Chains A and B, each alone.
Chain A
């Protein structure tokens, strides 16, 4: 590349996003380094997440009562990270229902999430050596309309009274409608979302709630896969770094009247 071409290429780079690029590189480096470390040393400590420890208990309760487990993967599509995180939990739940021969019901709102959820559950039953227990009706499509979907799922909760309800993924106005209906039906409820506006509703109406990052960590936590746990560790160290930068920025801006440090980190 000659100097003219190099200058031209540099002109295409969005300099306002240099801060994001630096943090992106630091974040990736930390996560990858911890994944590597985790693969070498398998004993990584990750704090207990009560909501995820209760998953086995919820499925066990449904098995004892001979009732179904209802898994609602949210209303987001597969391009939403919360839906991907939800599928990781669904995989674990499906393995448990396959192991204990418990009925599983997964109603879907988004067609792409539906296709992925079906594949996830089918594979989970296969991995547990119980493909005979899997049927296509377990993971089914309902509708693309938010409130029609809510009405359908609420109807299942009221009529069929599942023993365990999982509300994990991306939720909006329907969060409280579903959680309260489930609460009234007497089911043990485990919810999880990263939608801040919906979290209070889940905390009020559910037995356990996965708050924000706990939802994203669920797949790693449940699988106990060292590489995945390593990425959680990397994420935690990045969070500590961000907290430190916030404190430094606060001190620089208030004590030393030097706002340039904090300003450099502003999203543009």
Chain B
């Protein structure tokens, strides 16, 4: 049934080189920065979220986490100082993870601290935190600091004998982790889409109206009121959300489908982040969606964005460049605009 050429192709994929190095590096930076942002925004209220004033009193939390078999460093002491040490430790770990400094060790520390934080107060976590901490677990056995990291900046040291011996297995581990991340994200989307298909409000095409009117998620009532005046907008957006989620995994097999679905899912997550007051969920999901890109696609996209934003900056501030060079001439309005 499975030919020997398939077996060779699969073993070649897993054993010859590390795949997804740009994607894994970008996800590392995105997860680290988003976590740091989320934690710093919550700095003034941290004691009510994860400290002595948290939703679950410390004794109740310890009993509950023991019973559920969920270890947490917050269970070691009830003191405010200890909670603060863990909180600030998580901020530092998130930033170091984004910087790619001693990435493997930092990734483990970051996971342990983040897990402990999530267990301390499950009331304030959502699907974004859930997918992020599971993907983070897989990322521990991948190499995530090939690009945009302290390691890349400093340059590689020649590998020692032990590292050379382990290298072929480290390659396998990286590729297994990458496949696990991609499959995990597919599980998320298909499950989430299929559960929605079963709901009456999603079938009727009105689900997004209810989401937009719920006080918890209605950050811009003036704006959402305008949006839900239009049945076509609500129904099409509701159906689109379900279809995009169910079919997004198929885009891994079809480039044309990907060019349609990936921008749609990006738009969906931006709308959730902006309209529903869920910016951290939105950022975690957008970063996680990068797993649908191949390295080359990600790098091409980044290059295109970079040249595009340079052009826009030049257009907006002509006085910044009193003597335009040849490159600027091309980017003047009416000049070349081919996305390169």
Q: Do A and B come from one complex?
A: no
Give the interface of B toward A (CB within 8 A).
none
